[in-house]
Amino acid sequence: MISKNIRTIIKLSKWLQVILFLMLVNRLSAQLTYTPDDNFEQALIEFGYDSGSPDDYVLTENIEDLTYLYLDDRNISDLTGIEDFTNLMVLTCQNNNLTSIDVSANTNLSELRLSINQLTSLNVTSNTALTKLSCRGSQLTELDVSSNTQLTYLVCDYNQLTNLDVTKNTALTSLLCGDNQLTSIDVSSNTELLKLSCSNNELESLDVSSNTSLTSLTCSGNKLTNIDVTSNTALLIFSCGYNNLTSVDISSNTVLEFLGCYNNLLSNIDVSLNTVLNGLNCGGNQIASLDVSSNIALISLNCEYNQLTKLDVSSHSALKILDCENNQIDSLDVSLNNDLTFLRCDYNELTSLDIRNENNANMEFFLADHNSLLKCIYVDDKNADYLSDWTKDATADFVNSESECVETSINEIVNNDDYIIYPNPSTGKVYINMKNQGSENVLLEIINMNGQKIFTEVLNTNQTDINFEKDLSGEQKGLYFIRIHYGNIIKTDKIILE
């Protein structure tokens, strides 16, 4: 009888062990979160939310109360398991390899940063608490943020979006949607916007009249023919380059610090009221005259590829960068620009270039070639070693003074194979004897040191020899250039008038 009872007890004990084991397994299963991406789990191990080596599982109780999770630059391809991080408020998983992500269970999220991944879709309709969303640099073709009415910050540039509706996102202060395929964007409801960047899309129009708080507007690289910013009086930064604009009115933007209106169809730009401007880029237009006398705070001036004949920067003591290449400027004086470290004035018609600003030793870039009339460049020290890094025409010399320029460039008789100019120096009359080149026209020009043409004449080519006389006694004493055009040839020589 006793042995029978013992056997019964043993049986019951075994069953109890089985039941307890099943209960333990069930309990353990309920507490594990599946994380198949080893890089994801390794990050959790490093943060102290898991231990050992990656085994595809992490204790749920270790992660379910987390509110912040930073997973940038981890080479993560799969965020399966993120659904159990139910209390997350901030999730950042940027610069990884995600092709998809499910955050529908993370309803407490207020900040989600997924930039620089390979996402083809992103559903945030359940994340109504979001205030910040960044999904830059993926492959998204659509993005629905209509449920995210608390959004203040949306960055979705560098994707493939063809449409973006932000009419429900009235709290937005920053919207970056550039480098997509948008043909339109309605921001009339986003009256709190401080920053709008919609560059490099296919926009043909843009209405920002309701966005009176804007401080930064970049809409470059679109198809805009007009942009009205007269209502945006708080603008600090305005970039509208690479469009089809024929005019830009910035007279109301008196606190503007940077204007980029490069590569448009502008023939004029008035910056007289933008007195705190420190950066101006109006290159690649058709501007013939540029007055920056009111913009004494300028640090950077880019006006290259225009039709400028004059440029006065004498009032700009803070100027560091000046690019005026590919214009028709005849004289440039930067001797008062003591902070200048970058100068491009190549491809102009310079006859005078003065860079004696007592800062030549700190010049990081200098390019002044393709100025055929330029014979002398005035510098701080003509013997300085750093001048070997400066680019100029071989016919131009570095000199310290005007007298050196005259001494190094004046010959008593200018004697070429085709013509002779004499006397040199002259007290008034100048003579030119030239062999007939058989050209239809021989054009003679006399130019003063300021680049002004004081005389132009087409010479008689019907004679065997061309003899020309010009009296310059009524002109100011100094250096002059004689430029002769015949056939496809242009030659320039110097004379001095005493």
Mean pLDDT of 398-419: 67
Note the pLDDT tens digit of each residue in 67-122: 999 999 999 999 999 999 999 999 999 999 999 999 999 999 999 999 999 999 99
pLDDT band at 28 (very low <50, low <70, confident <90, very high): very low
Q: Which of 13-27, 356-370, 419-433 has the highest mean pLDDT?
A: 356-370
pLDDT at 182 over 60: yes
Percentage, residues of the chain above pLDDT 70 = 89
pTM of the model: 0.79
Percentage, residues of the chain above pLDDT 90 = 73
The mean of the pLDDT values for the chain is 90
Domains of the chain: 328-409 (no CATH), 413-497 (2.60.40.3080)
Q: How far is CA 10 from CA 1, 6, 20, 24, in A?
A: 15, 6, 15, 21
- pLDDT of amino acid 22: 46
If one counts every other C-beta atom within 10 angstroms of the C-beta of residue 19, the result is: 10
Nearest alpha-carbon partner for 190 in 208, 216, 215: 208
Query: Which is it for strands 429-435 and 419-422: parallel, antiparallel or unpaired?
Result: antiparallel
Mean pLDDT of 438-444: 71
Note the pLDDT tens digit of each residue in 455-464: 888 876 666 6
- pLDDT of amino acid 165: 98
pLDDT at 415 over 80: no
pLDDT at 316 over 90: yes
- pLDDT of amino acid 8: 52
pLDDT at 142 over 50: yes
Q: What distance in Å separates the CA atoms of residue 286 and residue 306, rounded to the nearest whole number?
A: 5
CB 321 within 8 A of CB 345: no
Residue with tokens 């395929």: 181
Nearest alpha-carbon partner for 340 in 313, 321, 327: 321
In 3-state terms, what secondary structure has residue 398?
strand
In 3-state terms, what secondary structure has residue 480?
strand
Kind and range of the H or E run holding 495: strand 489-497
pLDDT at 155 over 80: yes
Mean pLDDT of 439-457: 80
Query: Looking at 2-16, 197-211, 372-386, 449-463, which range is the least confident one?
Result: 2-16
Residue with tokens 């063809």: 162
Q: Report CA Rg, the chain.
A: 36
Q: What distance in Å separates the CA atoms of residue 78 and residue 34, rounded to the nearest whole number?
A: 11
Q: What distance in Å separates the CA atoms of residue 248 and residue 270, rounded to the nearest whole number?
A: 8
If one counts every other C-beta atom within 10 angstroms of the C-beta of residue 372, the result is: 18
- pLDDT of amino acid 426: 85
Q: Is the peptide bond before 36 cis (omega within 30 degrees of 0)?
A: no
pLDDT at 430 over 60: yes
More confident residue, 21 or 306: 306
Mean pLDDT of 397-417: 68
